[in-house]
Chains A and B, each alone.
Chain A
Amino acid sequence: MPEEINIETFNADPITEDVSDVAPQAAPGTAPQAAPQTQPKDAVETQQDLSAEIKAIGDAYAAALKTGKAPEIQPRLDYAPYRSSILRHPTKSLHHADPETIELYSPAFGHQDVHALESDLTIQHNGEPQGERIIVAGRVLDGDGRPVAGQLVEIWQANSSGRYIHKRDQHPAPLDPNFTGVGRCITGADGSYSFTTIKPGAYPWKNHLNAWRPAHIHFSLFGQEFTQRIVTQMYFPGDQLFPLDPIYQSIVDQDARDRLVASYDHDLTQPEWALGYKWDIVLTGSKRTWTENEAFGAEGDEE
């Protein structure tokens, strides 16, 4: 059973706000009641500046694709429009390694770890949270199309007004006493997961002046091998903020970006209750089986 959220405990957490290159406007602990400043004095970079950078990188990528370059399927670690990445990306190439022993297995999670009710983010408090109730469901598969069964999925998100329960989120939008925004589940035998939650709002951040993140839900996933571990973000279809967002755009390939966008699914929608969004997640292929298959030839790929 999810524990009642203790705001004081969260406020003791040392993690800083997403300040990026801009100093916070208010000291920590200052009540965010004052009207937001529309022109932070020290924020000189505008959306126009950032959009130009994003476009230049996108154009260069499109040109490279035309010359036969393979499509990129992951975000770039070095993506300057997200200012906080500048000092936080390796400058050396990732070193290719064949996974060994422990890396070919995954931690085991089960119903000792996760209560069934943790997948419903709308029942963690005494009342109903504000906002649009939604169901987000899909399957977790590996790169060979096999279901990832019995594994841990964790999510976290802002509330319907775009506010996180976090001390350094100073967005002057209301907290919701009936919504924490944290959920977990264990995937079913077919790799399925399902969360009931509230549609998160867009929220402003300080990467540049007038920067807004498209509405998203953070997802954390484990596969059957530790090499398959990912943390990512799920988005909602048709968001007008996609072209403007350096985090979404850090994936320079449109097809790859599309893999992070859920689709509205009326079959998932429940009458007079909640709208349904479907999002399947694909982890990388199995390295353990892969090796055996390689040894036996292509036939080894048969399920």
Chain B
Amino acid sequence: MSSTTKLTPTPGQTVGPFYGYALPYEKDRELLAPGSPGSIRLQGTVYDGAGHPIPDAILEIWQPDSEGNIVHRTGSLVRDGYTFTGFGRSSVGNSGMYTFTTVNPGPTKPGAAAFISVAVFARGLMNRLFTRVYLPENAEALAADPLLSSLDPERRSTLIASRDADGGLTWDIRLQGEGETVFLDFEGASVEGAAVGGAAQ
């Protein structure tokens, strides 16, 4: 914050209810073709504070490839079926469930915990939320992860997917209440969101 030339960011707003004809696109949730070698399903349900599935949320994921490389390839919106771009988008269905076909992300540094970056949008959610979903396997890496190790165990568990019998990942998002997912603020202490506008009102 040393410079005086910083510009103030434009505020976010809710995605609203009517993104369904604009943001989804063909194969938006298929980072690679379902059933192709190495592909896994990442799925889960988005819940509100009453424990009800939210039928009008949309998620984005952004991740390294299975080797931990961060790719810089276009073609996320018009997929050629071969290029892994690392980006996907999935609106939830009536039951609040989203699905991606992707790969297990590799660690971006040796020994680092592998995770997928997630952005969450929904009607009624005033601004997008960032979070992460970690692979469950490498306990040592998870224990050493800077973010996870800054959280108490109960909260930490909201960021770790469970491994399905078919090799896929299941990871639910709870916007509020018991088991509330940890959402991230990359901008610093307190300008944004719940910390400011919360219980004091």
Contact = CB atoms under 8 A, between A and B. Distances in A.
A14 B64 CA distance: 30
Interface stretch (B34-42, B126-134, B135-143, B161-169): B126-134
Interface stretch (A78-86, A125-133, A236-244): A78-86
A35 interface: no
Interface stretch (A42-50, A249-257, A270-278): A249-257
A132 B27 CA distance: 34
B194 A231 contact: no
Q: How large is the interface on B (under 10, 10 to 19, 20 to 34, 35 or more residues)?
A: 35 or more
Nearest to B6: A143
B9 interface: yes
Interface residues of A, number: 100
Given A74-B127, A85-B124, A166-B20, A108 B176 contact: no
A220 B23 contact: yes
Contact of A230 (B115, B123, B128, B186): B128
Nearest to B54: A88
B87 interface: yes
Contact of A93 (B13, B73, B147, B198): B198
A91 B9 contact: no
Contacts of A284: 9, 186-187
Nearest to A229: B119
Contacts of A265: none
Interface string B20-50: 1111100000000000000000000000111
Nearest to B14: A247
Given A14-B93, A103-B186, A88 B48 contact: yes
A70 interface: yes
A144 B6 contact: yes
Contacts of B119: 226, 229
A90 B186 contact: no
A87 B12 CA distance: 19
B84 to A, nearest CB: 11
Contacts of A154: 22-23
Given A79-B197, A156-B19, A105 B10 contact: no
A70 B191 contact: yes
Contacts of B15: 218, 231
Contacts of A283: 9-10
A189 interface: no
Contact of A18 (B7, B17, B72, B121): B17
Interface string A83-117: 01111111111111111111101111111111000
Contact of B182 (A15, A95, A251, A297): A95
Given A88-B124, A93-B194, A113-B75, 8 more contacts: A13-B21, A73-B191, A85-B126, A91-B199, A96-B186, A107-B85, A108-B71, A230-B127
* The 10 residue pairs across chains A and B that have the minimum distance between CB atoms: A76-B197, A84-B124, A156-B22, A110-B74, A107-B87, A94-B185, A113-B77, A93-B195, A87-B49, A101-B108
10 contacts: A15-B56, A18-B17, A74-B193, A76-B193, A88-B48, A94-B194, A98-B186, A103-B130, A110-B75, A184-B77
Interface of B: 2-3, 5-24, 48-50, 52, 54-56, 60, 62-64, 70-78, 85-87, 91, 93-94, 105, 108-109, 112, 115-117, 119, 121-130, 146-147, 150-151, 155, 175-177, 180-199, 201
